Chains A and B, each alone.
Chain A
């Protein structure tokens, strides 16, 4: 052990926790994350993200749109396929979604401002407005009673 160096590190560790520790909201959100656990739901995985480059496992659905602030996400699981286009107008986000596959009886979008009911039209399309940046997920109950939830994705 190099005592002097560790003394400097120990002092920095103490200071960092005072000046730049995780805010309490971050710690609370971490604790609350456990409540999102749903053991019975099937997961619809993110299969495409037009933002993704080759570092992640995701395949880019298309090249970056030169018109910034718009991208596409696709989820697949339990026979369900969900495409979502996200419009980002300076932090005010809008989702345009399209479901295909088995019929869905109800869906809820979990977002920063809490759960938002999602109304599907006859063609399986939906719009959700006024979302802020942060993690979101869709949770749906199918007509046959099965529950499907998408993975979290940060918008």
Chain B
């Protein structure tokens, strides 16, 4: 049971993030995540490699979300119409308003993040799960190859940076300078 709790502590945030990256509402995301854990319990004996649990969970929650979207759009089976497919779906209750954030810079950053192209927002929403997911887990969450994550990530971060620069150059500067190692720590 202790090992199970450690597992749920480690992956609950990632599974929630994946559901959110697919624009699931609160209740649909909760359903998808809960079903995923129940399926893991069912399949515990079949998953021999502990290193694969994360990507198994990521794949499973993605499929549950697809299933929920498909049910919501029963008259349009398959990928939703529109250039962005699943990523283009709007969420009924969008958590991107940032109203909960007291820090103005945080609110700005979060709002700008919400303006990213849907595909980038989807990738980054998974990337910023806590703890940070492995590339295998990200690939499983987005159903893309591990090799394509790096270049897409670069492109999306570049897009985010230019949006930030246009919105609030000081904010970006502040983030950057905060991350520069202090001289005493340099080699």
Contacts and interface: CB of A to CB of B under 8 A. Distances in A.
B164 A8 contact: yes
A11 B38 CA distance: 32
A7 B164 CA distance: 13
Contacts, number: 151
Interface residues of A, number: 47
A131 to B, nearest CB: 13
B35 A13 contact: no
B35 A152 contact: yes
B164 to A, nearest CB: 7
Nearest to A22: B16
Main secondary structure of the interface of B (DSSP, over half): helix
Majority-rule SS of A interface residues: helix
A25 B38 CA distance: 15
Nearest to B110: A15
Given A30-B8, A51-B67, A17 B130 contact: yes
A37 interface: yes
Given A7-B179, A16-B125, A17-B130, 13 more contacts: A4-B172, A8-B164, A9-B128, A10-B179, A13-B129, A15-B110, A21-B13, A21-B130, A23-B30, A26-B33, A27-B9, A36-B38, A68-B74
18 contacts: A4-B161, A6-B179, A7-B176, A8-B157, A9-B127, A11-B175, A13-B128, A14-B106, A16-B125, A19-B100, A20-B17, A20-B95, A31-B4, A31-B8, A51-B67, A151-B42, A154-B32, A154-B64
Interface of A: 2-23, 25-27, 29-31, 33-34, 36-37, 43, 51-53, 55-56, 64, 68, 133-135, 137, 151-152, 154
Interface of B: 1, 4-5, 8-9, 12-13, 15-17, 20, 26-27, 29-35, 37-42, 44, 63-64, 66-68, 70-71, 74-75, 77-78, 95, 98, 100-101, 106, 109-110, 113, 124-125, 127-130, 132, 157, 160-161, 164, 172, 175-176, 178-180
